[in-house]
Amino acid sequence: DQQVKQNSPSLSVQEGRISILNCDYTNSMFDYFLWYKKYPAEGPTFLISISSIKDKNEDGRFTVFLNKSAKHLSLHIVPSQPGDSAVYFCAASALKTSYDKVIFGPGTSLSVIP
């Protein structure tokens, strides 16, 4: 039962171009969404989040878009840099019902080619 899906296991992008990582969710109770980045042999690190009352949140080169009706969110990285190469996890939480559980997607491995 995969509540958070990331259907692309990997993505390759040229340096300087836009990286778009997609995420879909099934649980309509999710109301808070997060993106984490993970380098090999390290724990996931928080990147950016969005509450369900918004449809966009921006932080520097990173923008997250949320389409609640489609139960879809995406992370845009512009411009992509080689240091962005990592596994990106989409995660979701239902703050009203399950305050303290964050469900992760399977991850998308991003490679930014110099």
Q: How far is the CB of 15 from another protein (least distance, A)?
A: 27
In whole angstroms, how far apart are CA 11 and each of 1, 42, 48? 24, 20, 19
Closest of 48, 51, 47 to residue 32, by C-alpha: 51
Residue 84 corresponds to which amino acid? D
7 touching another protein, by CB under 8 A: no
Nearer to another protein, 17 or 54 (CB): 54
Q: How far is the CB of 2 from another protein (least distance, A)?
A: 8
75 touching another protein, by CB under 8 A: no
What CA–CA distance (Å, rounded) separates 59 from 39? Answer: 20
**Which residues are near another protein by CB under 8 A?**
32, 34, 36, 41-46, 49, 89, 93, 95, 98-107
